[in-house]
Structure 1
Amino acid sequence: MSHHTTVTLERSWAARCMGVLLCLAVAVIHVVDQGGVTATRDPYYVGVAYHVLEIAALVAALLLLFGLVRAGWLLAVGVAVGPLLGYVLSRGPGLPDYHDDVGNWTEPLGLVSLAVEAALLLLSLPLFLRSGRRRP
Protein backbone atom coordinates (compact mmCIF):
# COMPACT_ATOMS: atom_id res chain seq x y z
CA MET A 1 0.00 0.00 0.00
CA SER A 2 1.20 3.48 -0.75
CA HIS A 3 1.29 6.29 1.75
CA HIS A 4 -1.67 7.87 -0.04
CA THR A 5 -3.92 4.84 0.38
CA THR A 6 -3.01 4.12 4.00
CA VAL A 7 -4.90 5.83 6.78
CA THR A 8 -2.62 6.23 9.77
CA LEU A 9 -4.08 4.99 13.03
CA GLU A 10 -3.66 8.25 14.92
CA ARG A 11 -5.75 10.00 12.27
CA SER A 12 -8.25 7.18 11.69
CA TRP A 13 -11.89 7.93 12.33
CA ALA A 14 -12.36 4.76 14.43
CA ALA A 15 -9.46 5.56 16.78
CA ARG A 16 -10.57 9.18 17.09
CA CYS A 17 -14.18 8.13 17.84
CA MET A 18 -12.96 5.75 20.55
CA GLY A 19 -10.85 8.57 22.01
CA VAL A 20 -13.85 10.91 21.95
CA LEU A 21 -16.07 8.36 23.70
CA LEU A 22 -13.45 7.59 26.35
CA CYS A 23 -12.84 11.30 27.04
CA LEU A 24 -16.57 11.91 27.38
CA ALA A 25 -16.85 8.89 29.69
CA VAL A 26 -14.13 10.33 31.95
CA ALA A 27 -16.05 13.62 32.11
CA VAL A 28 -19.39 11.94 32.86
CA ILE A 29 -17.91 9.70 35.57
CA HIS A 30 -16.46 12.72 37.35
CA VAL A 31 -19.65 14.77 37.03
CA VAL A 32 -21.57 11.87 38.58
CA ASP A 33 -18.97 11.45 41.34
CA GLN A 34 -19.08 15.13 42.29
CA GLY A 35 -22.88 15.17 42.39
CA GLY A 36 -23.68 17.09 39.20
CA VAL A 37 -22.32 19.74 36.87
CA THR A 38 -22.78 22.62 39.30
CA ALA A 39 -21.58 20.78 42.41
CA THR A 40 -18.04 21.19 43.71
CA ARG A 41 -16.38 18.53 45.83
CA ASP A 42 -14.65 19.28 49.11
CA PRO A 43 -11.96 20.26 49.67
CA TYR A 44 -12.25 23.08 47.20
CA TYR A 45 -9.05 22.29 45.28
CA VAL A 46 -10.32 18.75 44.60
CA GLY A 47 -13.59 20.19 43.32
CA VAL A 48 -11.72 22.61 41.06
CA ALA A 49 -9.55 19.75 39.78
CA TYR A 50 -12.72 17.82 38.88
CA HIS A 51 -14.06 20.79 36.88
CA VAL A 52 -10.71 21.30 35.12
CA LEU A 53 -10.62 17.59 34.23
CA GLU A 54 -14.17 17.65 32.88
CA ILE A 55 -13.44 20.70 30.71
CA ALA A 56 -10.15 19.20 29.50
CA ALA A 57 -11.95 15.96 28.60
CA LEU A 58 -14.52 17.89 26.56
CA VAL A 59 -11.82 19.92 24.80
CA ALA A 60 -9.83 16.76 24.02
CA ALA A 61 -12.96 15.15 22.59
CA LEU A 62 -13.62 18.20 20.40
CA LEU A 63 -10.02 18.33 19.18
CA LEU A 64 -10.18 14.68 18.17
CA LEU A 65 -13.61 15.08 16.63
CA PHE A 66 -12.50 18.00 14.47
CA GLY A 67 -9.23 16.43 13.37
CA LEU A 68 -6.67 18.27 15.51
CA VAL A 69 -5.21 14.90 16.40
CA ARG A 70 -1.79 15.71 17.84
CA ALA A 71 -3.22 18.21 20.34
CA GLY A 72 -6.22 15.97 20.95
CA TRP A 73 -4.14 12.89 21.75
CA LEU A 74 -1.82 14.91 23.99
CA LEU A 75 -4.71 16.32 25.99
CA ALA A 76 -6.32 12.86 26.11
CA VAL A 77 -3.12 11.53 27.72
CA GLY A 78 -3.49 14.20 30.42
CA VAL A 79 -7.19 13.41 30.85
CA ALA A 80 -6.21 9.78 31.50
CA VAL A 81 -3.10 10.32 33.66
CA GLY A 82 -4.50 13.05 35.92
CA PRO A 83 -7.35 11.08 37.46
CA LEU A 84 -5.29 7.86 37.57
CA LEU A 85 -2.72 9.70 39.66
CA GLY A 86 -5.44 11.33 41.76
CA TYR A 87 -7.03 7.94 42.44
CA VAL A 88 -3.75 6.43 43.64
CA LEU A 89 -2.89 9.44 45.81
CA SER A 90 -6.37 9.79 47.31
CA ARG A 91 -6.61 6.08 48.14
CA GLY A 92 -3.00 5.67 49.19
CA PRO A 93 -1.41 8.37 51.31
CA GLY A 94 -4.35 10.75 50.99
CA LEU A 95 -4.32 14.36 49.87
CA PRO A 96 -4.13 17.53 51.99
CA ASP A 97 -7.43 17.97 53.86
CA TYR A 98 -8.85 14.98 51.95
CA HIS A 99 -8.66 11.60 53.64
CA ASP A 100 -12.20 10.30 52.96
CA ASP A 101 -11.05 7.80 50.31
CA VAL A 102 -7.84 6.50 51.93
CA GLY A 103 -7.94 2.72 51.54
CA ASN A 104 -11.15 2.79 49.47
CA TRP A 105 -9.63 0.95 46.49
CA THR A 106 -12.76 -0.98 45.46
CA GLU A 107 -15.37 1.77 45.16
CA PRO A 108 -17.44 0.68 42.11
CA LEU A 109 -17.45 4.08 40.34
CA GLY A 110 -13.73 4.41 41.06
CA LEU A 111 -13.05 1.03 39.44
CA VAL A 112 -15.09 2.00 36.36
CA SER A 113 -13.14 5.25 36.24
CA LEU A 114 -9.82 3.38 36.43
CA ALA A 115 -10.83 1.08 33.57
CA VAL A 116 -11.92 3.98 31.34
CA GLU A 117 -8.81 6.04 32.11
CA ALA A 118 -6.50 3.07 31.54
CA ALA A 119 -8.16 2.36 28.19
CA LEU A 120 -7.83 6.03 27.24
CA LEU A 121 -4.16 6.05 28.21
CA LEU A 122 -3.43 2.83 26.29
CA LEU A 123 -5.11 4.32 23.21
CA SER A 124 -3.91 7.91 23.38
CA LEU A 125 -0.26 7.65 24.44
CA PRO A 126 1.00 5.55 21.51
CA LEU A 127 -1.13 7.55 19.05
CA PHE A 128 0.22 10.83 20.39
CA LEU A 129 3.80 9.54 20.16
CA ARG A 130 3.20 8.23 16.65
CA SER A 131 1.55 11.49 15.53
CA GLY A 132 4.82 13.37 16.05
CA ARG A 133 6.84 11.19 13.70
CA ARG A 134 7.63 12.44 10.25
CA ARG A 135 6.08 10.41 7.46
CA PRO A 136 7.81 9.79 4.13
Structure 2
Amino acid sequence: MSHHTGTVPGATWVASRAGALLCLAVAAIHVVDQGGITATRDPYYIGVAYHVLEIAAVVAAVLLLAGLVRPGWLLAAGVAAGPLLGYILSRGPGLPGASDDIGNWTEPLGLVSLAVEGALLLVSLPLSVRSLRRRTY
Protein backbone atom coordinates (compact mmCIF):
# COMPACT_ATOMS: atom_id res chain seq x y z
CA MET A 1 0.00 0.00 0.00
CA SER A 2 1.43 3.37 -0.97
CA HIS A 3 0.79 6.52 0.96
CA HIS A 4 0.47 9.75 -0.94
CA THR A 5 1.74 12.70 1.03
CA GLY A 6 0.00 15.42 -1.02
CA THR A 7 -3.45 16.79 -0.45
CA VAL A 8 -4.73 16.01 -3.94
CA PRO A 9 -5.58 12.32 -4.55
CA GLY A 10 -5.09 10.12 -7.64
CA ALA A 11 -6.07 11.43 -11.05
CA THR A 12 -6.57 14.93 -9.69
CA TRP A 13 -2.94 14.88 -8.54
CA VAL A 14 -1.83 14.06 -12.09
CA ALA A 15 -4.14 16.73 -13.56
CA SER A 16 -2.79 19.31 -11.12
CA ARG A 17 0.79 18.55 -12.18
CA ALA A 18 -0.16 18.72 -15.86
CA GLY A 19 -2.04 21.98 -15.27
CA ALA A 20 0.95 23.46 -13.45
CA LEU A 21 3.27 22.53 -16.34
CA LEU A 22 0.86 24.02 -18.88
CA CYS A 23 0.63 27.24 -16.83
CA LEU A 24 4.42 27.49 -16.74
CA ALA A 25 4.53 26.85 -20.50
CA VAL A 26 2.07 29.74 -21.08
CA ALA A 27 4.34 32.00 -19.01
CA ALA A 28 7.48 30.86 -20.85
CA ILE A 29 5.91 31.36 -24.29
CA HIS A 30 4.94 34.92 -23.42
CA VAL A 31 8.37 35.70 -21.95
CA VAL A 32 9.93 34.52 -25.25
CA ASP A 33 7.38 36.49 -27.30
CA GLN A 34 8.05 39.73 -25.41
CA GLY A 35 11.81 39.39 -25.83
CA GLY A 36 12.84 38.34 -22.32
CA ILE A 37 11.68 38.57 -18.73
CA THR A 38 12.58 42.27 -18.33
CA ALA A 39 11.29 43.42 -21.73
CA THR A 40 7.90 45.04 -22.16
CA ARG A 41 5.97 44.85 -25.40
CA ASP A 42 4.45 47.82 -27.16
CA PRO A 43 1.90 49.20 -26.82
CA TYR A 44 2.44 49.54 -23.09
CA TYR A 45 -0.93 48.05 -22.04
CA ILE A 46 -0.15 44.84 -23.94
CA GLY A 47 3.28 44.69 -22.29
CA VAL A 48 1.67 45.06 -18.86
CA ALA A 49 -0.91 42.40 -19.76
CA TYR A 50 1.93 40.01 -20.68
CA HIS A 51 3.61 40.56 -17.30
CA VAL A 52 0.31 40.11 -15.42
CA LEU A 53 -0.35 36.90 -17.37
CA GLU A 54 3.12 35.55 -16.61
CA ILE A 55 2.77 36.26 -12.89
CA ALA A 56 -0.75 34.78 -12.82
CA ALA A 57 0.49 31.65 -14.62
CA VAL A 58 3.27 31.10 -12.07
CA VAL A 59 0.87 31.73 -9.16
CA ALA A 60 -1.64 29.25 -10.66
CA ALA A 61 1.11 26.65 -11.02
CA VAL A 62 2.19 27.13 -7.40
CA LEU A 63 -1.42 26.86 -6.17
CA LEU A 64 -1.97 23.65 -8.15
CA LEU A 65 1.29 22.13 -6.92
CA ALA A 66 0.40 23.09 -3.34
CA GLY A 67 -2.93 21.26 -3.62
CA LEU A 68 -5.01 24.43 -3.52
CA VAL A 69 -7.14 23.23 -6.39
CA ARG A 70 -10.09 25.61 -6.23
CA PRO A 71 -8.13 28.85 -6.65
CA GLY A 72 -5.52 27.06 -8.76
CA TRP A 73 -7.95 25.80 -11.39
CA LEU A 74 -9.92 29.04 -11.47
CA LEU A 75 -6.75 31.05 -12.08
CA ALA A 76 -5.48 28.46 -14.59
CA ALA A 77 -8.72 28.83 -16.59
CA GLY A 78 -8.09 32.58 -16.75
CA VAL A 79 -4.46 32.00 -17.72
CA ALA A 80 -5.72 29.90 -20.64
CA ALA A 81 -8.72 32.01 -21.71
CA GLY A 82 -7.07 35.45 -21.52
CA PRO A 83 -4.35 34.94 -24.11
CA LEU A 84 -6.69 32.90 -26.34
CA LEU A 85 -9.00 35.90 -26.46
CA GLY A 86 -6.04 38.22 -26.99
CA TYR A 87 -4.82 36.10 -29.91
CA ILE A 88 -8.23 36.16 -31.59
CA LEU A 89 -8.66 39.91 -31.09
CA SER A 90 -5.11 40.78 -32.16
CA ARG A 91 -5.35 38.66 -35.34
CA GLY A 92 -8.95 39.58 -36.14
CA PRO A 93 -10.02 43.20 -35.67
CA GLY A 94 -6.74 44.21 -34.01
CA LEU A 95 -6.18 45.88 -30.66
CA PRO A 96 -5.89 49.64 -30.02
CA GLY A 97 -2.44 50.78 -31.07
CA ALA A 98 -1.53 47.25 -32.24
CA SER A 99 -2.66 46.40 -35.75
CA ASP A 100 0.54 44.67 -36.92
CA ASP A 101 -0.77 41.14 -36.14
CA ILE A 102 -4.08 41.45 -38.01
CA GLY A 103 -4.39 38.36 -40.22
CA ASN A 104 -1.21 36.76 -38.80
CA TRP A 105 -3.00 33.54 -37.79
CA THR A 106 -0.15 31.12 -38.54
CA GLU A 107 2.78 32.67 -36.63
CA PRO A 108 4.66 29.61 -35.25
CA LEU A 109 4.98 30.80 -31.62
CA GLY A 110 1.34 31.89 -31.73
CA LEU A 111 0.27 28.42 -32.83
CA VAL A 112 2.31 26.81 -30.04
CA SER A 113 0.69 29.24 -27.61
CA LEU A 114 -2.79 28.34 -28.89
CA ALA A 115 -2.09 24.62 -28.46
CA VAL A 116 -0.81 25.05 -24.89
CA GLU A 117 -3.61 27.43 -23.88
CA GLY A 118 -6.21 25.21 -25.54
CA ALA A 119 -4.95 22.17 -23.63
CA LEU A 120 -4.91 24.15 -20.39
CA LEU A 121 -8.47 25.34 -20.99
CA LEU A 122 -9.65 21.78 -21.69
CA VAL A 123 -8.12 20.60 -18.39
CA SER A 124 -8.91 23.62 -16.22
CA LEU A 125 -12.53 24.35 -17.14
CA PRO A 126 -14.09 21.08 -15.99
CA LEU A 127 -11.86 20.96 -12.90
CA SER A 128 -12.74 24.59 -12.06
CA VAL A 129 -16.43 23.76 -12.25
CA ARG A 130 -15.92 20.61 -10.17
CA SER A 131 -13.96 22.50 -7.53
CA LEU A 132 -16.69 25.15 -7.31
CA ARG A 133 -19.36 22.48 -6.79
CA ARG A 134 -17.51 21.05 -3.79
CA ARG A 135 -18.48 22.49 -0.43
CA THR A 136 -15.24 21.73 1.37
CA TYR A 137 -13.59 24.61 3.21
TM-score by length of 2: 0.90
Post-superposition offset of 1:83: 0.1
Q: How many residues align?
A: 127
Aligned ranges 1:82-121 → 2 under 5 Å: 82-121=82-121
Tell me how far apart the structure 1 counterparts of residues 57 and 85 of structure 2 sit (CA, whole Å): 16
State the one-letter code of the partner of 1:20: A
Which residue in the other structure is 2:74 paired with?
A: 74
Q: Which residue of 2 aligns with 1:29?
A: 29
Identity %: 78
Assess, with a 3 A threshold, how the Cα gap between structure 1 residues 35 and 98 changes in structure 2: closer, same or farther.
same
Normalised TM-score (structure 1): 0.90
Equivalent position of 1:63 in the other structure: 63
Cα displacement string for residues 72-92 of structure 1 (whole angstroms, at most 9, x for unaligned residues)? 000000000000000000000
Deviation at 1:44, TM superposition (A): 0.2
1:3 maps to which residue? none
Shift of 1:131: 1.3
Q: Which runs of 5+ in 1 are unaligned?
A: 1-6
Following superposition, the deviation at residue 8 of structure 1 comes to 6.5
1:132 deviates by 2.0
